[in-house]
């Protein structure tokens, strides 16, 4: 289930799903897992979303809480100009290859729209009947005038687990590069003007693998045209860029962290999370005006709770796993449960051994720009200029946030625990969730098959041979016996 933020609990009282009320389901339960995951876990996330969006004000009969306002901002405000409109969206399928194109051509309008969401990894927003609503723009876009779609943070930070939407979960499906290419092709044909992303993607790749994005470099490019005080200076030249894709982390862990991002270099403030808004047309004054709205967005982010694992858990095995975890993993990842304690730590990249590209891609110049400017209240908030490695993240709700590691290179927790069995290349199956290995259901390959030629088709494969995509490192589980690994895997489901 999706534990609702406190204000909602106040509104609705404690909501507990059926399976929790009658005790944890056992493996003998006949209920198909599809139902458990699909209907039970996440219907509540839709309830939460919808409650905030539509009912919040009415039910509480007054002011929304800052967190509720934050979520409403994300669904309604236009921080960026629109990327495209309904007319363009309806034509996107005409750019596809076969067999998808014929399938779309023969489908009803409604079915074709759903196919279009799925093709680009767009997550449906919840509708009035609390079901995924494909009629409105996707969760990651605020609806605008004349059918416009304005991208928001939820494009990357609103995801789907086992087929169901959840705000704050990273979108592990998004195909931003393919979407933008197709939008551009349709706009050319319809003689519609290009948007900032259409131009931007001509200069820099948006993603080389679906489900991940080159977002760290977006930030560097946008920062280039800002003086430290946020005023715009278009004469500056973009520094050499190190393009690499990242997997966004889940929002529900932000409240346990003292600083932000994979290397923990940035302070956790409203200003820092506004980086995506730094397109030149948003002036320094606009950025300042929006700061309170982003303080609300940060309040929403910090109100989120990790979703509970909805499937069966072998409790005795998990209890064993807890002991193993506390001996081998807790020193970096903290402890969980009633007296859980997490102290954020950065682990030296030489000890950690995971892909170092992200760490090196953020130049000292960029970090200094943040340290010296408005973003960090002119150095009042701590900016770490030379982080030694990556942060050991909190593991709440880790079952839901596959793929793993900062670059999203490891598809399941089982693979994380078996460093030498991680696939060289993997591709998601349509069905989705792997209960046995806990994470994405994937097919493994020794290499991307030769007959996959089109770049958009190659982006469906996670190729760990590509730059910045290594699945190596974090070999800490190697000291565990097979039985201990099995126990830890079971325990991780309980976090
Ligand atoms: C194009 C995809 C994308 C969009 C849009 C996006 N983010 Fe992110 N976000 C990411 C990625 C990827 C990371 C990880 C970056 C890193 O660690 O270096 C991230 C990291 C974060 C973090 C740090 C979380 C942590 O645990 O350290 C926060 C907070 C955040 N984003 C908030 C936002 C907000 C607020 C917006 C909208 C203004 C936004 N993001 C828009 C992709 C995106
Ligand atoms: C020395 C510190 C350290 C130890 C010990 C350690 N980890 Fe980690 N762990 C990290 C760091 C740092 C990362 C982030 C690495 C990255 O993203 O490149 C990480 C990442 C992870 C992730 C992926 C998180 C995500 O959101 O993608 C999981 C799961 C995990 N560790 C589980 C474990 C387990 C289980 C153990 C014990 C067997 C363990 N770790 C031991 C430091 C540690």
How confident is the model over 376-402, as pLDDT tens digits? Answer: 999 999 999 999 999 999 999 999 999
Q: What confidence tier does 432 reach under pLDDT thresholds 50, 70, 90?
A: confident
The rounded Å distance from CA 357 to ligand 2 centre is: 18
* CA-to-CA dists, residue 140 to 77, 371, 382, angstroms: 12, 30, 30
Residue 493 has pLDDT above 50, yes or no: yes
Q: Region 161-177: what's the mean pLDDT?
A: 89
Q: Above 90 in pLDDT, residue 16?
A: no
Give residue 61's pLDDT. Answer: 54
Q: Which atom of ligand 1 is nearest to the CA of 276?
A: 38
Nearest ligand to the CA of 392 is 2
How far is it, in rounded angstroms, from Cα 438 to Cα 33? 13
Tokens of 382: 């701590």
Tell how far the Cα of 294 is from the centroid of ligand 1, in angstroms: 13
The verdict on the CB of residue 246 being under 6 Å from ligand 1 is: yes
Closest CA to 458 of 207, 181, 217, 122: 207
Distances from the Cα of 481 to the Cαs of 321, 415, 417, 478, 487, in angstroms?
Answer: 12, 15, 11, 8, 10
334 in contact with ligand 1, CB cutoff 6 A: no
157-179: average pLDDT: 90
Q: Is the pLDDT of residue 375 over 70?
A: yes
> Two tokens at 27?
């493996």
Q: Can you give the pLDDT at residue 105?
A: 97
Checking if the pLDDT of 219 tops 60, the result is yes
Q: Which residue from 156, 263, 270, 282 has its CB within 8 A of the most atoms of ligand 1, so it is best to mutate?
A: 156
**Over residues 474-492, mean pLDDT:** 98
pLDDT score at 200? 86
Residue 59 has pLDDT above 70, yes or no: no
What is the arithmetic mean of pLDDT over 268-289?
Answer: 94
Is the pLDDT confidence value at 450 over 80? yes
pLDDT at 336: 97
Ligand 1 site, residue 357, Cβ cutoff 6 A = no
46 pLDDT above the threshold of 90? no
Tokens, residue 340: 């859980």
d(CA 10, CA 183) in angstroms, rounded, equals 43
Atom of ligand 2 nearest to the CA of 404: 27
Taking the centre of ligand 2 as the mean of its atom positions, its distance from the CA of residue 436, in whole angstroms, is 20
Q: Which residue has the higher pLDDT, 314 or 62?
A: 314
Nearest CA to ligand 2 atom 42: 392
Paired tokens of 200: 């931007």
Note the pLDDT of residue 464: 98
Say yes or no to pLDDT of 45 above 60: no
For the residues 144-150, what does the mean pLDDT come to? 96
The set of protein residues with a Cβ atom below 6 angstroms from ligand 2 is: 328-329, 331-333, 347, 352, 354, 390, 392-393, 395, 398, 401, 404-406, 413, 416, 474, 476-477, 488
- Please list, in sequence order, all residues whose beta carbon lies within 8 angstroms of the beta carbon of residue 368, skipping any fewer than 6 positions away: 385
Q: Which residues contact 403 (CB under 8 A, 6 or more apart)?
A: 172, 211, 247, 409, 410, 411, 412, 439, 440, 462
Which atom of ligand 1 is closest in space to residue 277's alpha carbon?
38
How confident is residue 356, by pLDDT bands cut at 50, 70 and 90? Answer: very high
Region 340-355: mean pLDDT is 97
156 Cα: distance to centroid of ligand 1 (angstroms):
7
pLDDT for position 201: 87
pLDDT of residue 156: 96
Query: Does the pLDDT value for residue 459 go beyond 60?
Result: yes
pLDDT at 210 over 50: yes
Question: Are 164 and 38 contacting, i.e. CB atoms less than 8 angstroms apart?
Answer: yes
CA–CA separation, 347 vs 366, rounded Å? Answer: 22
Band the pLDDT of 358: cuts 50, 70, 90. Answer: very high
Percent of the chain with pLDDT over 90: 79
| Separation CA 50–CA 69 (nearest Å) | 13
Say whether pLDDT at 17 is over 50. Answer: no
What is the C-alpha to C-alpha distance for residues 442 and 432, in angstroms, rounded to an integer?
Answer: 8
Q: Which pLDDT value is given to residue 128?
A: 76
350 touches 344 (CB < 8 A): no
Top pLDDT among 8 and 341 is at: 341
Q: How many CB atoms lie within 10 A of CB 330?
A: 17
Query: What would the mean pLDDT of 209-235 be, rounded to a whole number?
Result: 93
Cα–Cα dist 294/449, whole Å: 44
- 102: number of Cβ within 10 Å: 12
Mean pLDDT (whole number) for 321-330: 98
Please state, rounded to an integer, the average pLDDT across all residues of the chain. Answer: 87
In this structure, are residues 410 and 265 in contact, taking their beta carbons and an 8 Å threshold? no
Give the confidence band of 127 by pLDDT, cuts at 50, 70, 90. confident
pTM: 0.89
Q: Which of 122-136, 137-151, 197-211, 253-267 has the lowest mean pLDDT?
A: 122-136
Mean pLDDT score, 56-78: 81
Question: 257 CB under 6 A from ligand 1?
Answer: yes
Distance from Cα 316 to the centre of ligand 1, integer Å: 37
486: its two tokens: 């099995």
Distance (angstroms) between ligand 2 centre and the Cα of 263 equals 13
Counting from 1 in the atom list of ligand 1, the atom nearest the Cα of 176 is 1
Q: How far apart are the CA of 19 and the centre of ligand 1, in A?
A: 33
Residue 363: pLDDT above 80? yes
C-beta 255 within 6 A of ligand 1: no
Q: What's the mean pLDDT in 325-331? A: 98
| pLDDT at residue 163, as a whole number | 66
> Does 174 sit in the ligand 1 pocket, CB within 6 Å?
no
**474 phi/psi in degrees, rounded to 5:** 45, 55
Nearest in space to 390 (alpha carbons), one of 267, 254, 262: 262
């Amino acid at each position: 289930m999706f534990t609702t933020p406190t204000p909602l609990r106040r509104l609705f009282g404690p909501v507990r799903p059926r399976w929790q009320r009658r005790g944890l389901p056992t493996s003998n339960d006949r209920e198909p897992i599809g139902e458990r995951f699909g209907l039970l876990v996440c219907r509540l996330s839709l309830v939460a979303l919808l409650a905030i969006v539509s009912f919040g004000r009415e039910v509480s009969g007054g002011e929304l809480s800052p967190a509720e306002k934050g979520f409403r901002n994300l669904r309604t405000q236009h921080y960026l100009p629109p990327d495209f409109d309904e007319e363009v969206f309806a034509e996107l399928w005409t750019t596809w290859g076969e067999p998808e194109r014929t399938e779309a051509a023969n489908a009803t309008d409604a079915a074709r729209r759903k196919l279009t969401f799925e093709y680009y990894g767009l997550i449906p927003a919840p509708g009035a009947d609390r079901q995924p609503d494909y009629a409105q723009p996707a969760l990651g876009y605020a609806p605008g005038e004349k059918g416009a779609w304005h991208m928001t943070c939820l494009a990357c930070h609103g995801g789907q687990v086992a087929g169901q939407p959840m705000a704050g979960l990273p979108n592990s499906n998004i195909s931003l590069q393919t979407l933008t290419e197709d939008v551009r092709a349709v706009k050319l044909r319809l003689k519609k003007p290009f948007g900032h992303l259409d131009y931007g993607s001509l200069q820099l790749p948006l993603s080389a693998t679906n489900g991940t994005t080159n977002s760290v470099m977006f930030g560097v490019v946008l920062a280039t045209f800002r003086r430290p005080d946020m005023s715009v200076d278009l004469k500056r030249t973009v520094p050499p860029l190190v393009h690499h894709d990242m997997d966004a982390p889940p929002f529900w862990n932000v409240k346990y962290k003292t600083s932000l991002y994979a290397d923990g270099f940035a302070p956790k403030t409203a200003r820092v999370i506004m980086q995506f808004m730094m397109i030149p047309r948003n002036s320094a004054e606009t950025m300042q005006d929006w700061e309170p709205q982003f303080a609300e967005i940060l309040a929403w982010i910090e109100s989120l709770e990790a979703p509970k694992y909805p499937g069966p858990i072998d409790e005795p095995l998990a209890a064993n796993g807890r002991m193993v975890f506390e001996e081998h993993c807790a020193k970096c990842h903290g402890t969980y449960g009633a007296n859980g304690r997490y102290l954020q730590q950065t682990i030296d990249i030489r000890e950690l051994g995971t892909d170092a590209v992200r760490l090196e891609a953020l130049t000292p110049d960029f970090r200094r720009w943040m340290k010296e400017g408005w973003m960090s209240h002119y150095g009042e908030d701590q900016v770490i200029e030379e982080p030694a490695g990556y942060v050991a993240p909190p593991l709440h709700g880790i079952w839901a946030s596959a793929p793993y590691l900062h670059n999203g290179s490891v598809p399941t927790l089982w693979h994380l625990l078996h460093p030498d069995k991680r696939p060289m290349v993997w591709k998601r199956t349509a069905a989705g969730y792997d209960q046995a290995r806990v994470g994405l259901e994937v097919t493994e390959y020794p290499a991307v098959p030769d007959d996959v030629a089109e770049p958009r088709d190659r982006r469906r494969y996670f190729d760990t041979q590509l730059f910045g995509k290594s699945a190596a490192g974090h070999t800490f589980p190697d000291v565990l016996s097979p039985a201990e690994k099995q126990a830890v895997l079971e325990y991780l489901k309980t976090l």
